[in-house]
Structure 1
Amino acid sequence: MIDVIRKSFSFQLDNLGQYLQVNYHRESPESGFAHYVFHQTNSQIPFEVANDADIDSLDSNRLSHAPVLATVGYGLACGRRFSESFLESWANGLVRLSGREAFPIDRTSFFYRPTELLGIAVGINYCYKHQPEYSRWLQDILVEGEQRIQRIHSNFWTFLISAYAAQLVSVTWKPIILPLAKDMTVYELALVKWFCSVSPIFADAFKLTQIEPSIDKKLLEDCMTCSNPPQDSVRAALLYFSLKTTIIQIINSSLDNYERILQSPKKAVEWLNSACDNIHTVTQQLQSQLSQPSDIEAPNMGDMQMLLAALSRLRSDTDTIEDQIIKLQSSVEIINEPNTMNYYDFQLLVTSDCKIRASSEQGEALGKLQLEMNKIRLALELIERGQTDTELLKSLGSELYQALFPAKIHSHFRATLAGAEENKYNVRLRLVFESSELAALPWEFLYDEDTNFFLANNTQTALSRYIDIPQKKRELKAASLPLKVLLVISSPTNLTPLDVAGEENLIREALAQHIDAGKIELDVLPEATIRNINQKLRQKPYNVFHFIGHGIFENDKGFIALVDQDNKSKLLDDEGFANFFLGNSKLGLAVLNSCQGAAVSSHQVFAGIAPNLVRRGIPAIIAMQYSILDSTAKLFADEFYRTLALDWPLDAAIQSTRNAISIEVGLDKRDFATPVLYLRAKDGIIMSGLH
């Protein structure tokens, strides 16, 4: 079935890729937008792009023309490099453009050409994000332009791109009544799909995420029957991206279904029989209609022939039940192959006197950490109180990034990323702090303005706090399925009571699918006494110890609150807590989580204790540096354990989890940067032998 899906649309994807290659011209705004489509989604453009050797040779007089200004804007956002003099000419060109009439009667200005409007907004956002005086002229145009766009009843394509351009320069347009999916063009469907991927906040504001499920089916139907070439590179790129993304999502969903089907051979046979019968019936009906004289117009006849061809391919792949079951089993085995992720290590060591040493495959670079605490103190307080927005988090993240990545180290990091990308590797970013004060800062908010990414949720980098200790490191020993998780919930009666049953249900609901599939084995210990925990850990070789409860500060020291025989609090420091796991070679990870009902200080205690637990022998710790809502805790458990059960390394799994939280909860909340991974293992693998 997966082969069928690929075959059915490979022709369309190949044609789109060829169209893009033939019509891709580096110095056109359409091709600039096309490159931007792939860049913003971390996707590979489907052909080789020429180098930028002649980029500065453009006639500076042309830099007052909107198409050229837009092309440069897209280039900047996609990482193209320009000389200082060229950028100065570009800035002067923007000034000249700002003095022209934005809304002429004949509608010939850049405002009425959405590709150029977006390119200019992208460039201004990239260069002058923190200098609003340079974007004010465009803001004024877009404020007035919102009403003009609505008065001329522009199409949905133009409205969406213009509204996104407005958002980039901090102008908010009001949502409109969305057209139905059936009334959209195939390119509008693709545009909606792209916005849902690159800007969830924008997509939510304009209700695009609500119609995304209905878009997928219509998109595939229209792509199957669409025979006309795209109008330009923008539409080709959007269609290529959205079609490929939709196919991948369908394949992943199908593989999940296959896994469930394969649990019961009888269900597999019934499902395949039904599929064959349905295909046979539809194919016969189409053949019958095509063989009879008809007044059907040529385009409709062509559509039916294309559908018949697709069904014939599908039927050929389901000729025999036995062959299909073998294919399904192979598909599941592909998912469960041992982890093959490859990484380059990039380690940043910050000494107690704020010297930085960066080490990677590319060598070493040195720098000095310069961070003005007064500039970030207010932001840290607002984040602690949960009073955040995207701008605040990006601003803090940018300050942290500039402090940790001064010029030489930034260049060294870029070189490592480039080498990794060339060899199809990811980068494992390890932070080592000798100073506890620096280690206490929320480095998971590191934000790179050049790429517009928070490093902690960019899936091409795996960010962790690395605990470098002089003694021999205990590597994580790979375990086999099922992943054995012990959930310990501690609620002493003399502290704020926790909803023990509710916390257990939350985790069980999050992991239900994986438990039913036999991938995760969950045991719960609701009475967290020292004796009960010791006995439980001796009964079974657990891989993960997941603790939910309170952290307490006493005499300027952090303690974890267990319960005594009278259900009152029994405080354990990091040394006492680490003793639970002495000699336990199977345990690879402890998760410390304070839920909604826990004391305000709990997450601070857990974040402070975690590095010491790693130093005392636990290979990896995940601690929440902020309290989280139950909905986020459930999302964390679902995404993290599911990914871990797919044999991902710990740091890659936590990175994927942060990314999922950022998409679901938003980049304006602190939630995505809340999980902190403290690691001492070389590769973070705790699962293997999944077959």
Structure 2
Amino acid sequence: MTACNLVNFDVTIQGEQPPYPVHVAYQGHTATGEFGEDSTQELWRSHQRSLEQSAYVPDATGIVAAGSRLYHALLRSRVRDLWIRARADLEQERVDGLRLRLALHPPAVAALPWESLYDPDRNVPFAAGAGTPLVRVEPLYAHVGPARRLRVTLPAKVLIAVPDDPDELIDPDREIAGIRQVMQEIGGDYLELHELRGRFSVVQMRAKLHEARADALHFVGHGTAEGLQFWRNDRPAPAPAASLRATVARVRSVKFALLNTCLSGRSVGLTPFSSVGAQLLQAGLPAVVAMQYPIRDDAAIDFAHFFYEELLCGACPGAIDLAVDAARSSLYALNPGDFSYGTPMLWLNAEDGCVFVPSGGPASELHEAPPAYAILDIGAESRWLDEMEAIDLHSLPVEYGVIRSKWQHLLDELRYLLHQVRALAGQPAAAAYAAKLAEYKRYKASLLRLQRLLDEATGRR
């Protein structure tokens, strides 16, 4: 049982000054309210500084305070009633998951750190929780035209663009090695990586995107709110957001961009659509990930590794929003006091996040059937699950509640899948057995990754 079909919970905030009108929609039901916060208020300037500094001075209390304030300001009265109804559907398994889609029209509201949104009653950070991925959308046709077609056929062609770093602060080799490691682990030709390195300009990057017929752009380098750093005439030369938009607009094959660089998601002041990420959305990309704060190189590398790991071999291969959600959750597990987990912003101008699922069939078809002799040892797997069940997570701090929940969810799914694999074991050559075995292995890999994260975060060995 794979929870890949999420239901949208749409939040729209409009207006020019507080209190801003709020409209929410969920499965044919709507509610309205008001929102009184924006980034011009001194309290939010303080919260923003705290979140930015948490990458170097951990501040779990400050992160929770900012996220809780957003939660109480947004989810009030009838809006809260509709959210409680949606959450009940999730908890009672009437829906697989809730995709929280934020359409934030006022620039001062969009500039708030929505990725910090936190339910203080349940101790759940939305951006790192299980079953509630948080995405931003830009539905106004006046600003964003039609998005390109989402789905691509495999292998998905990804251009990793890495301009030379004059300060030698970035380790692109480690980031790329992590992606190739994921490709090797899944044993399939799901990604086709192309690399562009050296002292190249934005125009040369466009030529390489054309040459590779790239489906995705993964940029590794330095950036500011105004643009990204390239080279020109053998000297560092920033390319403004407008240059990036013009570049991507002329390469129609590109569907997705991951800007793994500082401040690529931050707007310039309160000017709408001034960030690099937002302007790529205007160029027609249906999905863009960009960073709203400075991000340490090790956190950026970890995010990329976790993202591709979940995108290619997670429970729902090809789901961009769930891959970002899982990567955020992994960063949160490493250090809940470091807002690096909420630094990546995902703009998703589509009804769902299925970007890299081929149009020819379901996700389970991405995995090759194992040979007839590759039969799972049911007894050994049952004993392993017993060992995992015996691990005591109740002593973890309260902020790890979402991790405990995810751990138990994975164990429950693995028990269920193992029962199904046992029932199909008499026909190991059949497609049904192969698909179910592949699903079991994906969930097992997810649990093992979570165990490694917990060991690293808590110092257990």
TM-score by length of 2: 0.68
| Matched residue, 2:415 | none
2:235 to 563, 567, 581: 567
| Matched residue, 1:370 | 36
Contact in 1 for aligned 2:148/2:284 (Cα 8 Å) = no
Secondary structure at the aligned position of 1:403 is classed as helix
Secondary structure at the aligned position of 1:681 is classed as coil
| Matched residue, 1:520 | 191
Cα-to-partner distance string for 1:614-647 (whole Å, 9 max, x where unaligned): 1231211111112222222222111101211242
**1:349 pairs with 2:12:** yes
Question: Is the alpha carbon distance of 1:408 and 1:577 closer, same or farther for their aligned partners in structure 2, counting shifts above 3 Å?
Answer: same
| Matched residue, 1:674 | 343
Secondary structure at the aligned position of 2:275 is classed as helix
Shift in Å, 1:605: 5.8
Shift in Å, 1:448: 0.6
1:433 to 104, 117, 121: 104
1:649 to 319, 322, 346: 319
Shift in Å, 1:680: 0.8
Distance (whole Å) between structure 1 residues aligned to residue 248 and residue 118 of structure 2: 36
Cα-to-partner distance string for 1:70-108 (whole Å, 9 max, x where unaligned): xxxxxxxxxxxxxxxxxxxxxxxxxxxxxxxxxxxxxxx
Cα-to-partner distance string for 1:636-669 (whole Å, 9 max, x where unaligned): 11110121124232111111111111112x2111
Using CA pairs under 8 Å that are at least 6 residues apart, name the structure with larger relative contact order, 1 or 2.
2
| Matched residue, 1:55 | none
| Matched residue, 2:204 | 532
1:630 to 297, 302, 307: 297
Distance (whole Å) between structure 2 residues aligned to residue 640 and residue 410 of structure 1: 31
Distance (whole Å) between structure 2 residues aligned to residue 392 and residue 461 of structure 1: 22
Distance (whole Å) between structure 2 residues aligned to residue 508 and residue 492 of structure 1: 15
Aligned-partner residue type, residue 679 of structure 1: L
Shift in Å, 1:491: 4.0
Shift in Å, 1:380: 2.0
Question: Is the alpha carbon distance of 1:417 and 1:351 closer, same or farther for their aligned partners in structure 2, counting shifts above 3 Å?
Answer: same
Distance (whole Å) between structure 2 residues aligned to residue 396 and residue 378 of structure 1: 10
Aligned-partner residue type, residue 80 of structure 2: H
Cα-to-partner distance string for 1:662-686 (whole Å, 9 max, x where unaligned): 112x211111111110111221212
| Matched residue, 2:385 | none
Distance (whole Å) between structure 1 residues aligned to residue 134 and residue 325 of structure 2: 7
Distance (whole Å) between structure 2 residues aligned to residue 531 and residue 453 of structure 1: 44
Contact in 1 for aligned 2:265/2:277 (Cα 8 Å) = no
Cα-to-partner distance string for 1:328-354 (whole Å, 9 max, x where unaligned): xxxxxx9xxxx8711111111111331
Distance (whole Å) between structure 2 residues aligned to residue 603 and residue 614 of structure 1: 11
After superposition, where does 1:265-304 map in structure 2 within 5 Å? none
Aligned-partner residue type, residue 248 of structure 2: F
Shift in Å, 1:362: 4.5
Question: Is the alpha carbon distance of 1:488 and 1:417 closer, same or farther for their aligned partners in structure 2, counting shifts above 3 Å?
Answer: same
| Matched residue, 1:466 | 137
Contact in 2 for aligned 1:344/1:416 (Cα 8 Å) = no
Distance (whole Å) between structure 2 residues aligned to residue 435 and residue 487 of structure 1: 33
Shift in Å, 1:475: 4.6
Distance (whole Å) between structure 1 residues aligned to residue 209 and residue 45 of structure 2: 42
Which segment is superposed worse, 678-687 or 509-518?
509-518
Contact in 2 for aligned 1:511/1:641 (Cα 8 Å) = yes
TM-score by length of 1: 0.46
Shift in Å, 1:576: 2.3
Cα-to-partner distance string for 1:253-278 (whole Å, 9 max, x where unaligned): xxxxxxxxxxxxxxxxxxxxxxxxxx
Distance (whole Å) between structure 2 residues aligned to residue 623 and residue 463 of structure 1: 14
Identity %: 25
| Matched residue, 1:587 | 254
After superposition, where does 1:238-249 map in structure 2 within 5 Å? none
Question: Is the alpha carbon distance of 1:650 and 1:396 closer, same or farther for their aligned partners in structure 2, counting shifts above 3 Å?
Answer: same
Question: Is the alpha carbon distance of 1:593 and 1:508 closer, same or farther for their aligned partners in structure 2, counting shifts above 3 Å?
Answer: closer
Secondary structure at the aligned position of 2:192 is classed as strand
| Matched residue, 1:383 | 51
Aligned-partner residue type, residue 653 of structure 1: A
Distance (whole Å) between structure 2 residues aligned to residue 486 and residue 428 of structure 1: 28
Distance (whole Å) between structure 2 residues aligned to residue 592 and residue 462 of structure 1: 19
Question: Is the alpha carbon distance of 1:489 and 1:498 closer, same or farther for their aligned partners in structure 2, counting shifts above 3 Å?
Answer: farther
**Structure 1 segments unaligned to the other structure (5+ residues):** 1-333, 596-600
Secondary structure at the aligned position of 1:568 is classed as strand
Question: Is the alpha carbon distance of 1:359 and 1:593 closer, same or farther for their aligned partners in structure 2, counting shifts above 3 Å?
Answer: same
How many equivalent residue pairs? Answer: 338
Q: Which has the higher helix share?
A: 1
Shift in Å, 1:461: 0.7
**Structure 2 segments unaligned to the other structure (5+ residues):** 269-273, 359-365, 368-461
| Matched residue, 1:612 | 279
Aligned-partner residue type, residue 659 of structure 1: S
Q: Which has the higher strand share?
A: 2
Distance (whole Å) between structure 1 residues aligned to residue 252 and residue 183 of structure 2: 24
Aligned-partner residue type, residue 613 of structure 1: L
Distance (whole Å) between structure 1 residues aligned to residue 296 and residue 165 of structure 2: 21
| Matched residue, 1:684 | 353
Quick check: which has more Rg, 1 or 2?
1
